[in-house]
Amino acid sequence: MSRTIALLAALLVFAAMPVAANPSITVYAEDDSSGSKGVVNVSISAENDDADMSVDVYVGIVLPDGEIWTIRYDVWSASIDPWISNIYVPPWFSMGRTQYWSIDLPSENPPIDAEGSYYFAALLTRPLTFEAVCEASLHQYNYQPGGSAEITMINIPGGSFLMGSPETEEGRLSNEGPQRTVNISSFLMSETEITEGQWESVMGWNDCYVVRGEEFPVEYVSWLDCAEFCNRLSDSKGFQRCYTLSNVTYNGVHINTADVVFNFEANGYRLPTEAEWEYACRAGTTGRFYTGDSSDDLDLAAWYTANSDSDKQKVGQRQPNPFRLYDTHGNVWEWCNDWYYTDYYGTRPDPDDNPIGRDSGSERVLRGGSCYDIADFCRSAYRSHAGLYYCHRYLGLRVAKSN
């Protein structure tokens, strides 16, 4: 703590200034009331008995490596800005004032993204003279990012299949064809959809639209959130990241925007390609579902609108497919790695080897249907799509890994 005080003093240059008796300030930081590690709430309380005294408020944070950031704290709007500055406190400050704000974690601004002790600090000074009028207040906040998770991965053997649906298939849409032969190399795929427990273990937060428990599939996660999940899972297992995310911005705990570079040669966890997903879902079958063609057949394999009351269910409760994968039909939609294109099938060669999709686009592929959907939307060939940032109560994921 003495080192932290010294660093703060070096930044603010106020430690040697005379201290007045009346004003005082305290700073406090804690996880939010729900216990989530994804948000830290910070409050600053100040008292000033001298109505004629104007003061400036400085708020700073000391990072675990000793770097100090000064945060501009706007009394009026409670916003945070990384630039060093001071804020005039109006006369009503004499009656006392408490300001609150929240920082979504992990955060780039200020940079709270690594495990360690962070110290929030606050100080009152006289305008222009920078004379301290109270002792600095420090509060320690310990950030513990997500860890690892045990995920059962199934070895999917290499092989060939007809991707897409025949024109005669019930419920077929034009974006599911023309069918073509696709050759897939062996890879690993998670036995079930990623659960709430697995997600929270890795990410440190759970923002599901409906929080049901550790064995239920995670949902309300964007494609960008899933890419970050894969990266952190790779880190925890000592594998190379498949995704490089830069210029990241957040909306709450969710990644809102980011520039993404994908490295298919990396050995870490990733989302399955669209071709891998359909190949793994079919597992050698050719019907609408891996259990057959009728709704009764789907009942054996999936939670969908006819049997789920439109609510997600525990993973692994229905009949698995021949590869021993559960819930590839229904429960929650599963993000794929590929950009979505309506004419994707008609622009690929036949036969096609390990297609990974196009290099750019505006939306990513979703597969499998959900507990909210009718049987047609849960078919092996059905394709949906959404923006990278989009979160919804029925959007989840399943991870893959190259052999």
Q: How confident is the model over 126-158, as pLDDT tens digits?
A: 767 667 777 788 888 887 766 788 999 999 999
User: Do residues 94 and 203 both lie within one domain?
Assistant: no
CATH code at 179? 3.90.1580.10
Peptide bond into 355 cis (omega under 30): no
Q: Kind and range of the H or E element at 10?
A: helix 2-12
Per-residue pLDDT at 32: 59
pLDDT tens by residue, 64-120: 888 877 654 433 333 333 333 333 334 334 445 676 767 777 777 778 877 788 888
pLDDT above 60 for 62 = yes
The residue from 143, 166, 195 where one domain ends is 143
Task: Give the span between the Cα atoms of 166 and 218, in whole angstroms.
Answer: 32
Q: Classify residue 148: in a domain, yes or no.
A: no
Cross-strand partners of 331: none
Please give the tally of structural domains in the chain: 2
pTM for this one?
Answer: 0.72
pLDDT tens by residue, 212-242: 999 999 999 999 999 999 999 999 999 999 9
Task: Give the span between the Cα atoms of 103 and 395, in whole angstroms.
Answer: 25
Q: Environment class of residue 11 by beta-carbon count within 10 Å: exposed (0-12), middle (13-18) or buried (19+)?
A: middle
Using the 8-state DSSP alphabet, how is residue 36 labeled? -
User: Do residues 299 and 382 both lie within one domain?
Assistant: yes
Cα distances from 375 to residues 174, 298, 306, 368, 371, in angstroms, run 17, 7, 8, 10, 10
User: Do residues 228 and 160 both lie within one domain?
Assistant: yes
pLDDT above 90 covers a percentage of the chain that reads 59
CATH code at 138? 2.60.40.10
- Domain extent, residue 45, equals 2-143
User: Do residues 355 and 393 both lie within one domain?
Assistant: yes
User: Do residues 233 and 375 both lie within one domain?
Assistant: yes
User: Do residues 119 and 181 both lie within one domain?
Assistant: no
Question: Distance of alpha carbon 246 from its chain centroid, rounded?
Answer: 14
User: Do residues 69 and 211 both lie within one domain?
Assistant: no
User: Do residues 97 and 224 both lie within one domain?
Assistant: no
Higher pLDDT, 210 or 47: 210
Q: Which has the closest alpha carbon to 117: 146, 147, 143?
A: 143
